Amino acid sequence: MIRSMTAFARCDRLVKSCSLTWEIRTVNHRYLEPTLRMPDGFRSQENDFKELVRKQLSRGKVDATLRFDSEEGEQASAINVDAAMVKVLLDAQAQVAAVSPDASGLSVSQILSWPGVVKPESMDYETLFKDAAELLDEALADLVAAREREGARLVSFIEQRCNQIEDIVVLVAARREIVVDAARERLVLRIEGLDLEFDPTRLEQELAVQAQRLDVTEELDRLVIHAEELRELLQTGDAVGRRLDFLMQELNREANTLGSKSHDAETTKHSMDLKVLIEQMREQIQNIE
């Protein structure tokens, strides 16, 4: 299925006396750009976690956060103090006091807050790596499902615009003879207003040249072809965002050419309507994987 690049997923799991939580947010991006935030104890697994992301996603800016907390209600563990570091601080304090007897001493809270004094609690993170990876897989599966649901809505939106483009093509094609006849009439009236003799054959040649300049059959045909190709791409279920971007450029080029060839207010209005529809599609296609 077509996937949007904008989605959110969250998964939780209790492991032993701890809880693991993955939160993943994704937005549109030209390439796949995963960014992982996690506790230091899990840093060694960052590349493996990124590989799991690459297996599930192909485009988008991915912001994944792993939270690791002690189970609610768990008793606080004892504080491990590095006695050697405390002695270093006290020795330094004694040296300062020898130079400046009036200097205030270190309080207990200041000593405990000094970097390296309190040892981090030892934790066997390796036993949690497998659970964290499995939980990430679950979160990614939820994320993909959310991207597919949003993708289905985008497909419906774009197909509606394709139908409207084809309706406008029919209206422009129906006015083609009217536009050519009006141009013919304007040219004849202009020549007659000059009160000059003219060669009927030369006049027909000039009218034929003008009709060719006003001919938008190729532009209309290409608009229909691009709309059909757009529908086909939306049904493939592949990551087609870049190809859709290219099609938007082609559709916009044909709409611009149609407007430049227009010598009719109604056709000009239809050309502007086409540009609005194409821009609406382009904005939505920016979110397609």
State how far the alpha carbon of 78 is from the alpha carbons of 19, 118, 263, in Å: 20, 11, 85
Which residue do the tokens 């197909």 mark? 159
For residue 118, what are the β-bridge partners? 81
8 A C-beta contact, residue 9 and residue 143: yes
Distance CA 24, CA 37 (A): 10
pLDDT tens, position by position, 234-244: 888 677 888 89
Q: What are the pLDDT tens digits along the chain (289 aa)? A: 889 999 999 999 998 778 999 999 999 998 999 999 998 889 999 999 999 999 999 999 999 999 998 654 444 456 788 888 899 889 998 898 888 888 888 888 888 888 888 865 656 778 899 999 999 999 999 999 999 999 999 999 999 999 999 999 999 888 877 766 666 666 666 666 666 666 667 666 666 666 566 677 888 999 999 999 999 988 886 778 888 999 999 999 999 998 887 777 888 899 999 999 999 999 999 999 8
**Whole-prediction pTM value?**
0.69
User: Under DSSP, is residue 37 helix (H, G, I), strand (E, B) or coil?
Assistant: strand
**How many whole angstroms separate alpha carbon 22 and alpha carbon 74?**
21
Q: Measure the CA–CA gap between 56 and 22, rounded to whole angstroms.
A: 15
For residue 66, list its beta bridge partners. Answer: 22
- Closest Cα partner for 165 from 282, 278, 285? 278
DSSP 31: S
Using one digit for the tens of pLDDT, what is the confidence trace for 67-115? 998 654 444 456 788 888 899 889 998 898 888 888 888 888 888 888 8
